[in-house]
Amino acid sequence: MKRKQLLSLIAIIILISVYGYEHFLNSKEEGVLIENGKTPKATTNQYFLPTSTTNQIVHHQNYSLSYSEKHEQAEWVAYELKSSHLSKTNHKRPYFQIDKTVKTKAAHWRNYKKSGYDKGHLCPAGDRKFSKSAHDETFLTSNISPQEHQFNAGVWNRLEQKVRYWAQKNDGIFVITGGVLENNLKSIGSESVSVPEQFYKVILDNTNGRIKMLAFLMPHEDSNLPLYKFVVSVDQIEALTGIDFFKDLEDSLENKLESSSSYKNWSF
């Protein structure tokens, strides 16, 4: 074998070895991240976590989610929002990152490029401004869903601001958010990220040990209607999604609260 051919062969072998080793390290790192994501964190309120229809719950440091591989997004994201979490600090907006803790692989942010849809946060960055790491953690692709800009910046933004008002007023609430994921939805990108036709938000307030709930179901379009017009019962959202939101509550209390669509104990 000529010297030039031998050197080329050696170079190829080295490249393959380096690539294989990097792939091994990346796979090992992803395995550690996936295992770490299975463990509830100190900041995760396990008691109020909903059921998962996909059997893929991921616990990040400041929120938890249930990922739907079929729809390439979370079916729900859940977190506690305390008054101490609210901050006016403006952190620099980071780039979106693929969530490596999702075992079935989270969708790439490129699916949204030129799609006409916003990367709509489910756990808003504005709810996690108390530290840069908490803020940046919301920029994982498992925490976004395709949203029309007018909806995202309009009625949905109004609801997010109202949730912060309640968190401040009641000194802490538990929030669960997601799109209604069903069959035959429009999709975007090469990974077919579903575009929900409706979005929901469920809120539980446990101030002074007296539990109350409030649920919203919104068509995926902007609206000038007052927010209370979108109030529904938790039961209605459970029927649409197949998710059991507060399974660990005492049954009679759960049934009473989840069947109600009253908002008289909430300030609008």
Amino acid, single-letter form, for residue 58? V
User: To which residue do tokens 């692989």 refer?
Assistant: 105
How sure is the predictor about 24, in pLDDT bands with cuts at 50, 70 and 90? Answer: very low
Helix (H, G, I), strand (E, B) or coil at 237: helix
Q: What percent of the chain has pLDDT over 70?
A: 83
> CB within 8 A of 85, min separation 6: which ones?
127, 128, 129, 130, 167
- pTM of the shown model: 0.86
User: Mean pLDDT across the chain, nearest whole number?
Assistant: 88
d(CA 61, CA 74): 16
Question: What are the φ/ψ torsions at residue 193 (nearest 5 degrees)?
Answer: -75, 120
Question: Considering Cα of 22, then 24, then 29, then 34, what sign does the dihedral take?
Answer: positive
Instruction: Please give the pLDDT value at position 1.
Output: 55
Question: How confident is the model over 11-27, as a mean pLDDT?
Answer: 49
Question: Does 126 score more than 70 pLDDT?
Answer: yes
User: What is the average per-residue pLDDT within 63-81?
Assistant: 97
Check residue 76 and report its DSSP letter.
E
Average pLDDT over residues 244-262: 91
Q: Per-residue b/e over 209-218, b at no fewer than 16 CB within 10 Å?
A: eebbbbbbbb
Other beta carbons within 10 angstroms of residue 263's beta carbon come to 15
Q: d(Cα 116, Cα 200) in Å, to the nearest integer?
A: 21
- Comparing 267 with 223, the larger pLDDT belongs to 223
- What is 153-217 written as a DSSP string? HTHHHHHHHHHHHHHHHHT-EEEEEEE---TT--EETTTTEE--SEEEEEEEE-GGG--EEEEEE
d(C-alpha 232, C-alpha 246), whole Å: 16
Cβ burial 78-97 (10 Å sphere, 16+ → b, else e): bbbbeeebeeeeeeeeeebe
Determine the Cα–Cα distance for residues 134 and 60; give it in Å rounded to an integer: 10
Residue of 9 and 226 predicted with greater confidence: 226
Answer yes or no: is pLDDT of 29 > 70: no
Beta strands in the chain (DSSP E): 57-59, 64-68, 73-81, 118-121, 144-147, 173-179, 187-188, 193-194, 198-205, 212-219, 231-232
Q: Is pLDDT of 249 > 70?
A: yes
Q: Alpha-carbon distance 9 to 259, whole Å?
A: 70
Whether the Cβ atoms of residue 37 and residue 58 lie closer than 8 Å to each other: yes
The residues that are catalytic are 121
